[in-house]
Amino acid sequence: MDQRSSPRHSLKRELGLFEVTLSGVGIILGAGIYVLIGQAAGLAGNAIWFAFGFSAIMALLTGLSYAELSSMFPKAGAEYDYVTNAFNSRIAFVIGWLVFLSGVFAAATVALGFAGYFSALTRFPMLISAIVLIIVLTAILAYGVKQTAWVAVISTLIEASGLVIIIAIGLPHFGSVNYLEMPQGYSGLFAASALIFFAYQGFESMVKFSEETKKPETTVPKALMLAIAISVILYVLVALSVVSVLGWQQLAVSNAPFVDIVSGTLGPDAAVIIAIVALFATANTALMSMYASSRILYGMAGSSSLTAGLAWVHPAQRTPWIAIIICGFMSVVFIFAGDIAFVAGVTNFTLFITFIVINAAVIALRYNSPHTPRAFRVPYSIGRIPLIPVAGIFFCIFLLAAQEPAVLALGVVLTGVGIVLMVITGHYVSRGA
């Protein structure tokens, strides 16, 4: 029997609805809200709350598509398995490459965000801090999925408490500004929505818990919907709070808006608490980004699209050690990348392309595999055409068009690299081959 398919070396099912939901919230609530809210306010003005809501619509539409696909194919390879079944393994390889790349790229950039906060608190060199963080997170991932999930749950509760503090501070100021003020009009609002989508990045990673979740066909779709709903509510309330306290002009020029809000209302000592919360938020985002990237490598190797060594599971820890180590190494390499706003845009590009294909996969499978069991089914269809995935595709194209030219250029290059890799590896296996 192939070692990869041997039960002794399979991933361990230990996660329930609570762990998957909280881990999902932890993936979503991270560096985006703590780092990008100021830059987004410069684009959307006081209407930044609307930008969060607009981005949430797209996240929800595509989230429903992920829910249906995860109920059909509960595999760690996630996007790769979905696209292979809907289309072919050539397209799936390129999508898997983009998902892997976005994860390690995001992890590296967020690690630098962590290092910035850590350096401000301790004066420790940023580069060393970022590298040490990646090494520690790699060790956690390799040790076990249960331990990884509980680190994520604890970090989620801490970072969510930080957002609750910001909301509580802002409540007395609600109504103090015009919440529809948009200095750059609707073009600025849509540009902010495209940037802010990075703050929702991560909901798609939840499906990679499938092979380590009990009853994944029903648990993962439920957890996905709950995580998005919780995150949207927190984000909109936070956005309303920060503009109520600072106003968009001050928010746009602040390097640490949450720290400024807390220090201005509760004093500098309280601001240290928010800085510590930000450490947990950024570390948690990096952890779960690396988790997602390691699982897509594991899933692709398990499907024979990559070398079988990447699918090796440690017999004692039951985690894909080789894939995890590669993700850790690549994240360290990408630590030398640029600023977080640009990288967020590039990450969004890879996600928008992926989401277009994922939504298309739901539509294709309604025709190709109409009788395949679906524990969750996207509602509202005309004949066999599900309307929500169609809307998801249009939203992705709309937000993709709002990206900066430099982001679009690099995104096209990265996609081209994936195509070249597919050709080099001789990946011409047709669907079902």
- Find the CATH number of the domain harbouring 145: 1.20.1740.10
Q: How many CB atoms lie within 10 A of CB 408?
A: 15
Tokens of 296: 């897509």
Torsion, Cα 233 238 239 242, to 10 degrees, reads: 170
- SS3 at position 213: strand
- In-domain check, residue 188: yes
Q: What is the pLDDT of residues 209-252, one digit of tens each?
A: 777 888 888 888 889 889 989 999 999 999 999 999 988 998 88
Task: Work out the pLDDT band at 335, boundaries 50, 70, 90.
Answer: confident
Query: Burial letters for 152-162: b for 16+ Cβ neighbours within 10 Å, e otherwise?
Result: bbebbebbbeb
Q: Looking at residue 340, what is its pLDDT?
A: 65
- In-domain check, residue 357: yes
Q: Looking at residue 304, what is its pLDDT?
A: 64
Tokens 């979905």 found at: 82
- In-domain check, residue 1: no
**What's the predicted TM-score (pTM) here?**
0.80
- SS3 at position 390: helix
- In-domain check, residue 431: no
In which domain, by residue range, is 412 found?
8-424
Q: What is the DSSP letter of 15?
A: B
- In-domain check, residue 2: no
- In-domain check, residue 153: yes
The number of domains in the chain is: 1
β-bridge mates for residue 15, sequence order: 213
Q: Looking at residue 288, what is its pLDDT?
A: 83
Q: Looking at residue 298, what is its pLDDT?
A: 84
Q: How many CB atoms lie within 10 A of CB 140?
A: 18
Check pLDDT > 90 for residue 8. Answer: no
Q: Looking at residue 382, what is its pLDDT?
A: 94
Least Cα distance to 8 among 321, 315, 322, 319 occurs for 315
- In-domain check, residue 432: no
Q: What is the DSSP letter of 212?
A: G
Task: Work out the pLDDT band at 2, boundaries 50, 70, 90.
Answer: very low
Burial group, residue 123, by CB count within 10 angstroms (0-12, 13-18, 19+): exposed
Q: How many CB atoms lie within 10 A of CB 5?
A: 10
Residue 124 CA to residue 117 CA, distance in Å, equals 10
Check pLDDT > 50 for residue 430. Answer: no
Q: What is the pLDDT of residues 90-105, one digit of tens each?
A: 899 999 899 898 888 8
Tokens 């990075």 found at: 198
Q: Mean pLDDT of all residues in the chain?
A: 84
The residue type found at 342 is F
- In-domain check, residue 391: yes
